[in-house]
Amino acid sequence: MRWRKFNGDTIDLPIRDAVEQAIQRERAKGFRLKVCIGTDSQVKGQETEFATVIVFLREGHGGFMFIHNEKTRQQYTIKERMLMEVAKSIDIAYELCNLFTEYDVDMEVHADINTNPSFKSNDALREAMGYILGMGFAFKAKPEAFASSSCANKVVN
């Protein structure tokens, strides 16, 4: 899995190591961190591209993110695609959650799913919420889910 920084620099370490180094570096500078993980996707012709982000928020001092893009030719219904976004976020959250516990970093999983029933993505809300909360993670949906609806949305090509 290839990860990169927002400026395009590739992250050559395993993502767990890169996240741990980032936490250690930011704590050494005196910052308290919160991490938000989210995924967004876009369908272009026969391809669906997913962008997963790990957003590090420095309390009162901005933030930064790590990005992973992935393309597939698999076709999804809107509900399947929303749940696939959630699954990708949960996969990385699960891989990193012990690290966040060890360093006392709050973490949320953000789902790019609208809480308004008039939007098609809302069909997946209950399942996504159950999936995320069932894994023991804090959950945010639109409009609070900025990691997926803003950050990941900007880096999905």
pLDDT by residue (tens digit) across 84-112? 999 999 999 999 999 999 999 999 999 98
The predicted-structure confidence for 126-141, as pLDDT tens digits, reads as follows 899 999 999 999 999 9
Distance between CA atoms of residues 69 and 114, nearest Å: 22
* Cis peptide, bond prior to residue 117, ω within 30 of zero: no
Point out the residues of the chain with pLDDT beneath 70.
none
Task: Report the pLDDT value the prediction gives residue 17, as an integer from 0 to 100.
Answer: 98
pTM of this structure: 0.93
Task: Report the pLDDT value the prediction gives residue 58, as an integer from 0 to 100.
Answer: 96
Measured from the Cβ of residue 115, the count of other Cβ atoms closer than 10 Å reads 15
Backbone CA torsion sign across 72, 78, 82, 87:
negative
Tell me how long the chain is: 157
* CB contact at 8 A, 90 and 133: no
Amino acid in the structure at residue 139: F
